[in-house]
A and B are shown apart, each in its own frame.
Chain A
Amino acid sequence: MSDEILLKVTIDNITVEVPAGTTILQAARKIGGDVTPPAMCYYSKLQGSGGKCRTCLVEVSKGSEKDPRPMPKLVASCRTTVMDGMEVKNITSPRVLEARAGVVEFLLLNHPLDCPICDQAGECHLQDLSYEHGKQGSRYEFQKRTFKKVDLGDYIQLHMTRCILCYRCVFTADQLSPKREHGVLDRGDHAQIATFIQKNLHNEFIGNVIDVCPVGALTDKTFRFKNRVWFTKPVNAHRHCDKCCGEVQLWLRGDEVFRVTARKDEWGEIKEASNGKTGWICNECRFEKKNLADWIIEGPTNVNRHSVISQNKYVGLVKPTETFPKIMKGRNPKLLMDIHSVSEVNKPNIHLSQLERPAHSTDFNQ
């Protein structure tokens, strides 16, 4: 793997040495920080991914030491390999920033922007991208294209309207499962991820498509609408699994396991597991093991402090000693605000919390 020959590449005036065959994006990730172009479709763990979303466009102002001519067009940094002496401009090039703002506008054109009801909100790459590189508003004044929601079996829900067609899930299914059952149908702005004839996705590792999806197009049905991600607390955990590495991240609230995902690195990609392979996890670990007793907790996950997920990690959380029945003088209402103690309009002798169904006027007129 490691060649002795290292190539020098300068990105935004920072020089870094990388082995031959490295892409500009990987070299920039080595430097880190703002110099790294954003990537919506590229996924280093998936072969063949990248080049599609065009958010990682950079300007090559000097091709190489041998051939110093600049490249005429902006290039996709995720698919362009470095040459010795290459000079790349990312955030120092106004051309790049403008093109990137354009790409963000294009990506958001048909995106529903339903973040308030989207499960991905808080860990959505498109949200991050538009905050960091987008403009304040859209100039699009037409109806957005929409799709019906599609059920892909017991675990996965496809909400195609949110999809940005990064093809990551297609590559994942291609490379992790023996037979891919979904792909891209149609073309242009009506292209969609689909199973052609509606059917369930069955493969043991298919749950990983949820992890690679940069937006809320593929969501975990066992977690949908259960909680916002920033209310849950991620901890690293593992269990013995004969199908996968068993190293996961649990998303807890109290002692309840709300969600299980693979562990991710700082670029939002799945980390390497301790056995050196990519830490894809199987469906059983992801969807079936929602009991804290199934897992051995290693400790809290390091969350970037800029992430909204890190905002809610109460240090030294103390649970209240008083319980509801104690405060409510022995009653345990479903409604926190006990309407009976405030209002005499309803009959106080009828307890709403004891009704089997929503209250109805007939309940009060007995």
Chain B
Amino acid sequence: MGVKLLLAKAHVEGIKNYDVYRREGGYQSVEKALKTMTPEAVVEEVKKSGLRGRGGAGFPTGMKWSFIAKPEGVPRHLVCNADESEPGTFKDRYLMEHIPHLLIEGLIVSSYALGSNDTYIYIRGEYAWIVDILEKAIAEAHQNGWLGKNILGSGFDCNIHVQRGAGAYICGEETALLESLEGKRGNPRIKPPFPAVKGLWERPTVVNNVESLAAVVPIINMGGEEYAKIGVGRSTGTKLISACGNINKPGVYEIDMTISVEEFIYSDEYCGGIKNGKRLKACIPGGSSVPILPANLLLKTAKGETRYMNYESLSDGGFATGSMMGSGGFIVLDEDQCIVKHTYTLARFYRHESCGQCSPCREGTGWMEKLLLRLDKGEGKMSDIDLLWEIQSKIEGNTICPLGDAAAWPVAAAIRHFRDEFEWHVLHPHEAQVRNFGLAHYADPLQVPAGA
């Protein structure tokens, strides 16, 4: 049983409500921070904890906080990025639905650390009901003196505002999020200037993921050094993983980043193995935009070491033989899944979500989608596979924001690892319409462990 910090109390009856949450030890971190610590000390504590951003990029949160510019007389803002739109990722939704007060608590402490008197939660439009949950939690916090003017007599004022998005994946990119929050079209800004210098309304701003901000609560409660002892190496603390796909027990799991991928998929505590006793073909370990890995590279690294569920181990081998922790959207594909169709589905998503601001992403994503659809329908040509590779390499790294990379990586990884499946689709167009390619030499060389 791994350590649970965020979801430890998630199943307590009525934890959604303030009274229960407070009785279970809620808002202690606010008391501790506002009464006994300076804002700088809070930032220092988060730095010590080694907490890495849980939104996808894995940038150390404490470092991000220390970059914020502090010009005289200019308000600063903290923005909570709850625009969780990556296909396969639904951990923030779980957190906000079940223990909204944890996020509010984390937000108050973080706002205190950053000196943000007006803090925003930018939530994706599709999470309409969660807005009500959050607003209720904020109102309760107000009533009990955790928000508003002069919180706990510390002289610190803080208000939290919830803003709904209008359903755009691109608004999860921090600068696009800020544009949208300002009421403009959600186009990513060109960096520099970075949000830490000129963010929301040209004021210094920090944008953090929901889970990162919630993790601030245990960090303050137990101390940064204690938090850093959980986990392994530079992957400290616990991470929420939203597991889905062909597994017996899909859902959100909190892991302490010391377990292996194999254990995560096959043990009964977590995913509980592949559904219907089928075999593992491939997996996307960190949300749709990270490279897909075939089973043999997923369970063991190219060097033959066991792969663990943490930042370093999952990215071992770079993009050639590794992937990324990403946002923790763990998508498992069994032997019956078609990689070409799957890649097409992702390409369609990115074509639809591209903002259209810069040309490689705007035109390239549409082109890739059309090519993949043609390959999937069995009308493709051998040269299309090379062309896809060409297109993705022209998009990657040449765009304003990471959406271009996010669109290019899945296609690149699918061709890199599953080229024979693409070729089979070209060579056997009719067969490809009626049956799946199935497992190949690359998939699942291991014995199916007992318990699966």
Q: Does B199 contact A (CB under 8 A)?
A: no
Distance to closest chain B CB from A94 (angstroms): 14
B354 touches A102 (CB 8 A): no
Chain A residues closer than 8 Å to B354, beta-carbon distance: 187-189
A54 in contact with B185 given A106-B364, A188-B353, A189-B351 (CB within 8 Å): no
Q: Which of B20-28, B313-321, B395-403 binds A?
A: B395-403
Q: Which of B313-367 contact A (CB under 8 A)?
A: 351-360, 362-367
Chain A residues closer than 8 Å to B170, beta-carbon distance: 187
Q: Does A79 contact B (CB under 8 A)?
A: yes
Chain A residues closer than 8 Å to B397, beta-carbon distance: 73-74
Determine the distance from Cα of A183 to Cα of B184 in the docked complex, in whole angstroms.
Answer: 11
Distance to closest chain B CB from A50 (angstroms): 8
B363 touches A106 (CB 8 A): yes
Determine the distance from Cα of A103 to Cα of B168 in the docked complex, in whole angstroms.
Answer: 25
Chain A residues closer than 8 Å to B351, beta-carbon distance: 188-189
A110 touches B363 (CB 8 A): yes
Interface centre among B168, B364, B365 (most CB of A within 10 A): B364
Q: Which residue of B has the minimal Cβ distance to A98?
A: B394
A189 in contact with B365 given A52-B357, A165-B357 (CB within 8 Å): yes
Residue of B353, B356, B360 near A191 (CB, 8 A) is: B356
A164 in contact with B398 given A51-B190, A184-B185, A188-B353 (CB within 8 Å): no
Q: Which of A69-126 contact B (CB under 8 A)?
A: 73-74, 76, 79, 98-99, 102-103, 105-107, 109-110
Q: Does B370 contact A (CB under 8 A)?
A: yes
Bitwise, B156-184 to A at CB < 8 A (1) or not (0) is 00000000000010100000000000000
Q: Which of B241-288 contact A (CB under 8 A)?
A: none
Determine the distance from Cα of A106 to Cα of B398 in the docked complex, in whole angstroms.
Answer: 12
Determine the distance from Cα of A55 to Cα of B397 in the docked complex, in whole angstroms.
Answer: 13
Distance to closest chain A CB from B247 (angstroms): 32
Interface size for chain B: under 10, 10 to 19, 20 to 34, or 35 or more residues?
20 to 34
Q: Does A225 contact B (CB under 8 A)?
A: no
Q: Does B387 contact A (CB under 8 A)?
A: yes
Determine the distance from Cα of A51 to Cα of B189 in the docked complex, in whole angstroms.
Answer: 9
Distance to closest chain B CB from A55 (angstroms): 8
B356 touches A188 (CB 8 A): yes
Chain B residues closer than 8 Å to A142, beta-carbon distance: 367, 370
Determine the distance from Cα of A155 to Cα of B355 in the docked complex, in whole angstroms.
Answer: 30
Chain B residues closer than 8 Å to A50, beta-carbon distance: 190
Determine the distance from Cα of A57 to Cα of B170 in the docked complex, in whole angstroms.
Answer: 23
B363 touches A107 (CB 8 A): yes
Chain B residues closer than 8 Å to A164, beta-carbon distance: 359
Q: Does A147 contact B (CB under 8 A)?
A: no
Q: Does A148 contact B (CB under 8 A)?
A: no
Question: Taking chain B's interface residues, is the majority helix, strand, or loop, or is none over half, making it mixed?
Answer: helix
Residue of A107, A109, A184, A188 near B352 (CB, 8 A) is: A188
B168 touches A106 (CB 8 A): no
A189 touches B358 (CB 8 A): no
B364 touches A187 (CB 8 A): no
Chain A residues closer than 8 Å to B355, beta-carbon distance: 187-188, 191
Interface size for chain A: under 10, 10 to 19, 20 to 34, or 35 or more residues?
35 or more
Bitwise, B119-135 to A at CB < 8 A (1) or not (0) is 00000000000000000
B394 touches A99 (CB 8 A): yes
Q: Does A140 contact B (CB under 8 A)?
A: yes
B358 touches A51 (CB 8 A): yes
Q: Which of B378-434 contact A (CB under 8 A)?
A: 387, 390, 394, 397-400
A54 touches B398 (CB 8 A): yes
Bitwise, A274-291 to B at CB < 8 A (1) or not (0) is 000000000000000000
A54 touches B359 (CB 8 A): yes
A52 touches B358 (CB 8 A): yes
Interface centre among A106, A164, A186, A191 (most CB of B within 10 A): A106
Determine the distance from Cα of A191 to Cα of B363 in the docked complex, in whole angstroms.
Answer: 11
A102 in contact with B394 given A52-B357, A52-B359, A187-B356 (CB within 8 Å): yes
Residue of B185, B362, B387, B399 near A165 (CB, 8 A) is: B362
Determine the distance from Cα of A76 to Cα of B359 in the docked complex, in whole angstroms.
Answer: 13
A103 touches B365 (CB 8 A): no
Chain B residues closer than 8 Å to A74, beta-carbon distance: 397-398
Q: Does A139 contact B (CB under 8 A)?
A: yes
Distance to closest chain A CB from B184 (angstroms): 10
Chain A residues closer than 8 Å to B359, beta-carbon distance: 52-55, 103, 106-107, 164-165
Determine the distance from Cα of A167 to Cα of B359 in the docked complex, in whole angstroms.
Answer: 12
B363 touches A109 (CB 8 A): yes
Chain A residues closer than 8 Å to B366, beta-carbon distance: 109-110, 145, 188-189
A99 touches B363 (CB 8 A): no
Interface centre among A110, A145, A186 (most CB of B within 10 A): A110
Chain A residues closer than 8 Å to B168, beta-carbon distance: 187
Bitwise, A309-344 to B at CB < 8 A (1) or not (0) is 000000000000000000000000000000000000
Q: Which residue of A has the minimal Cβ distance to B362?
A: A189
B365 touches A188 (CB 8 A): yes
B363 touches A102 (CB 8 A): no
Chain B residues closer than 8 Å to A54, beta-carbon distance: 358-360, 398-399
Residue of A103, A140, A187 near B398 (CB, 8 A) is: A103
Q: Which of A143-167 contact B (CB under 8 A)?
A: 145, 164-165, 167
A183 touches B363 (CB 8 A): no
A51 in contact with B400 given A165-B357, A187-B168, A188-B351 (CB within 8 Å): yes
What are 7 A-B pairs at a CB distance below 8 A? A52-B357, A53-B358, A73-B398, A106-B360, A164-B359, A165-B357, A188-B365
- Contacts A107-B359, A187-B355 supplied; 12 other A-B pairs, CB < 8 Å: A52-B357, A54-B360, A73-B398, A103-B394, A109-B366, A110-B366, A145-B366, A165-B359, A187-B356, A188-B352, A188-B353, A189-B356
